[in-house]
Structure 1
Amino acid sequence: MMSDSPRILIVDDTPANIRLLADFLREDYQLSVATNGADALIRAQEDHPDLVLLDIMMPEMDGYEVLDRLKSSPLTAGIPVIFVTAMSEVQDEQKGLDLGAVDYIAKPFHPGLVKARVRNHLDLKRHRDHLEDIVQQRTYELAQTKKVTVECLAGLAETRDPETGGHIRRTQNYVRCLAQRLSEDSAYSDYLTSETVDMLYRSAPLHDVGKVGVPDGILLKPGKLTEEEFEVMKRHAIYGREALRAAEKRLGTSSFLRFGAEIAYTHHECWDGSGYPQGLAGEDIPLSGRLMAVADVYDALISQRVYKSPFEHSKAVRIILEGMGSHFDPAFEGPFRELSETFRAIAMNNADSDAEREALRR
């Protein structure tokens, strides 16, 4: 018998039955034994068998209760269980199958039948485990595809505006920490699930992807934009939404790009309706856009640009707080105050220059 042979747990309160089953199976499998229900549960947790042969009629804890407990634990729920039973108990097969047993073997045992049923159910388990491995691998590959897609799209925008290298990393982390904090409040907890928070984090880098459609003369202009130039610049929110929505239609409405399109289109909207491109106000602005607005403005303030020096962290915080109720959702005031030092740490860890680091210390 090889050390990597399947493991079988035999559970029976009658030693003669255990010896008989062991004689049938020991040549091909690794065996462990329990003589009562309590020991069976411990063995199953510790040994992680590939199959359990379980007697029904046992004192204190019968086979039905053992099976029910095995199926109730995440560690043992996936182990196939075959009941071994006297012929007079065949009428209870339905109860066992309803609880999750995969098969019955009747006493007295027939060696060929025992071996065949054990082999068949181990084969089924092996195929099921293989399918689960494939699903996990495909899930991982899909997650990596999403990540790479976002990074490539965000990187495309970054190549047009090279001064914003750390901006993408910083803003997505601001969004995540603020969303996580809001998820603790009852007003947001149902919406901001861990999955949604992660999607916001993954999608935040797409907020400025529409800048690829802005002419270089405007996007890279070192000085202040004219009114006409600013009108052109504002269209990046529309370009980003249109590009991401087109991709989303190809992937389906549940696509992770939905948040990206939402963020790209609404992160310049203001709580009081003075923003762009639609002039949305209050809760008409999607939560994703409201979160991104705080992240984007704070980062713009503490970042160095050819036309400005980085603001001190304390000044940036003061400006954000002064904007609560006009630029930003006033419900964010308390959470932002609590997280201001976390924002500083994120910015410090991803700063693009010594000047930014120095300003962040103040």
Structure 2
Amino acid sequence: MLADMTMYDSLIILYSIGLVISIICIIGVALQKPSDEQKLMLLISFFAFLISLGYWFGIQSNSVEAIIMAYKLMYLGGCSIYFLFVLFFVRYYKIKAPKLFFPIFGLLCILLTGATLMIDQHHWFYQSYTFAYETGVPVLIKEYGILHTVYMVMEAAVALGLIIIVIYQSSKRKDKEKWEPFLLVAVPLIPAAIHIGRLYLPTQIDLASIGILISELLLIVLIYRLKIYDINDTAKQLIIDSMDDAIIVVDHNHLYKEVNEQAIVLFPEFARAKKDTELAIISPALDQTLKAEDTSLFYLESRVYEPYIKTIRRNNQIRGYVIWYLDVTEAEKRKELVLNYQQELEKEVALKTARIEEIQEQIIISFANIIEIRDTITGEHVRRTSLYAEKIAAVLLQNGDYPETVNERFIRLLYAAAPLHDVGKIMVSDSILNKPGKLTEAEWVLMKKHAENGQNILKNALEKIQDVDYYNMVCEVAMYHHERWIGGGYPEALSGETIPLSARIMAIADVFDALTSERPYKEIYDNDTAFEIIKKERGLHFDPILVDAFLSIREEIEAVAVRVGK
């Protein structure tokens, strides 16, 4: 029966088998896991199908118009498939092509494609052609033009270039199978050899479409054998699935695309979800997280996850989103440990600070007691003046006066420093300190030295203290609390705001208590008289703002005087 088959019958069977194989290739590649390489192979399979379809139509043509249409299909597939072959090899070997290579090569393929689609409208591809039958087989007898020569040169150059790439890369890389280079060399070599050989061998059988199919089958075998199109994606998926983090991928329309295994653990609804389903339908809470970019921590049993939203962009356009639930369990534990340690440390520091302050307070009290031993009047005096000074400073803070200086810490430091304002009197003799009458000029000179002596005593006693602010203030109070607002005080005759604020406050507290207390050299003034004297000295002896603050709290001042020793 085979002996009775004509050439026409043989070609019909051959081209039909090629057409069926090309369809099977398309289906086989389409069923593989989506990837860039899979899409590339799908395009190669499609254009190989066009070539096979062209040959299949050509063998059944009965007119010049029909066979020309068949040739258009063949060349449409041929021009495109060689471009895709080059792209496949470049990607496979991870070659960095020159910047203008693909644009120029692509433009050449497009021009040749356009020329072949209009093959019957010009004479550049075929100068002339005639439809005829040879042994019952429809053929197109052609006289080739310049563009056909360009097409053949391109085909030969691509085949030669790919062969060189394979040989060079195979000699340089040892991570491929030994038989792989032979397989890859055959991909461009077979169709090019068949097509070029057809021009010089006297045969009616055109096996170019079969050559293309063989090349395609070799690539598919390579894909299935080595998983070259899938190895990177598989590795990435394996890594992603082994992560403790949850990964959810959606497109720009919030349609579900992919999740890893940990995401299914956190959100079991994805186990039943179909891809391309709206995220809001699968998990409304997750959709709200994406829309609101909510980064609230997510808790599952003993694990803690923190969500991050990553935007997928390509060509400055949003393509989708990755919702990444980062496992921060260990980080949160460390944070909690650090927080607990910090709290314990703060407690310890506060306790030690309190102890230091207690020690400082005892030192202050000891100094005051020393003074009190020398002068019984002075003991109650230092307690009252400390409270007076504290209350004046509190009014300044409330009124917003001297805001660059007065704050809660200033008030605490002033209260702690005030008891030592007269510490210099330790160095004044008892005969002067407790003299019932008016001091002589010489005695007064010695008495005035208590301000400077007090500063010297405190500098020597507190030189190693860590609180510099307290050190400065206690020295200021001791040294300058006898200065006058308009000048003329002692020991340096300062005036106005050149006198430290702490000393100006202390001056009012000290004078008021002296007026309302019994002294060896004077009688007690009543409160009305004492407040009137302070008022008259406003802008003279005392800072006007401080006098106003002092007068505004007369009831509190009088209450202190009653409570502390009067």
TM-score, normalized by length of structure 2?
0.43
**1:39 alignment partner in structure 2:** none
**2:458 alignment partner in structure 1:** 244
Deviation at 1:92, TM superposition (A): 6.1
1:313 and 2:527 aligned: yes
Deviation at 1:84, TM superposition (A): 2.5
1:330 and 2:554 aligned: no
The one-letter code of the counterpart of 1:245 is: K
Structure 1 residues 64 and 223: alpha-carbon distance in aligned structure 2, compared to 1, 3 A threshold: farther
Deviation at 1:256, TM superposition (A): 1.4
Q: Which of 365, 375, 381 matches 1:151?
A: 365
- Whether the aligned pair in 1 keeps the contact of 2:420 and 2:478 (CA below 8 Å) is yes
Deviation at 1:142, TM superposition (A): 2.1
Deviation at 1:253, TM superposition (A): 6.8
**1:47 alignment partner in structure 2:** none
Moved more, 216-225 or 228-237: 216-225
- Structure 1: how far apart are the matches of 2:485 and 2:385? 19
Q: Which of 328, 338, 352 matches 1:104?
A: 328
Secondary structure of the residue aligned to 1:260 is helix
**2:355 alignment partner in structure 1:** 141
Moved more, 317-326 or 306-315: 306-315
Q: Which of 64, 68, 84 matches 2:305?
A: 84
**1:7 alignment partner in structure 2:** none
Structure 1 residues 192 and 122: alpha-carbon distance in aligned structure 2, compared to 1, 3 A threshold: closer
**2:416 alignment partner in structure 1:** 202
Q: Deviations over 1:81-110 (max 9, x none)?
A: 9732699978564xxxxxxxxx614xxxxx
- Whether the aligned pair in 2 keeps the contact of 1:248 and 1:258 (CA below 8 Å) is no
Deviation at 1:161, TM superposition (A): 0.8
**1:70 alignment partner in structure 2:** none
TM-score, normalized by length of structure 1?
0.66
**2:448 alignment partner in structure 1:** 234
For structure 2, which runs of at least 5 residues remain unmatched after alignment? 1-262, 268-284, 310-321
Deviation at 1:122, TM superposition (A): 5.7
Structure 1 residues 104 and 270: alpha-carbon distance in aligned structure 2, compared to 1, 3 A threshold: same
Structure 1 residues 125 and 191: alpha-carbon distance in aligned structure 2, compared to 1, 3 A threshold: closer
**1:219 alignment partner in structure 2:** 433
- Whether the aligned pair in 1 keeps the contact of 2:434 and 2:520 (CA below 8 Å) is no
The one-letter code of the counterpart of 2:404 is: D
Q: Deviations over 1:12-40 (max 9, x none)?
A: xx9x979xxxxxxxxxxxxxxxxxxxxxx
Deviation at 1:189, TM superposition (A): 1.9
Moved more, 306-315 or 273-282: 306-315
Q: CA RMSD in A?
A: 3.2
- Structure 1: how far apart are the matches of 2:505 and 2:303? 53
1:298 and 2:519 aligned: no
- Whether the aligned pair in 1 keeps the contact of 2:364 and 2:419 (CA below 8 Å) is yes
- Whether the aligned pair in 1 keeps the contact of 2:306 and 2:325 (CA below 8 Å) is no
**1:343 alignment partner in structure 2:** 557
| Count of matched residue positions in the alignment of Structure 1 and Structure 2 | 269
**2:281 alignment partner in structure 1:** none
For structure 1, which runs of at least 5 residues remain unmatched after alignment? 1-13, 19-55, 68-80, 94-102, 106-115, 353-362
| Structure number with higher relative contact order (C-alpha < 8 Å, ≥ 6 residues apart) | 1
- Whether the aligned pair in 1 keeps the contact of 2:295 and 2:307 (CA below 8 Å) is no
Secondary structure of the residue aligned to 1:189 is coil
- Structure 1: how far apart are the matches of 2:550 and 2:355? 35
Q: Deviations over 1:220-271 (max 9, x none)?
A: 2222211110110110001111111223432257251221110010000111
The one-letter code of the counterpart of 2:435 is: K
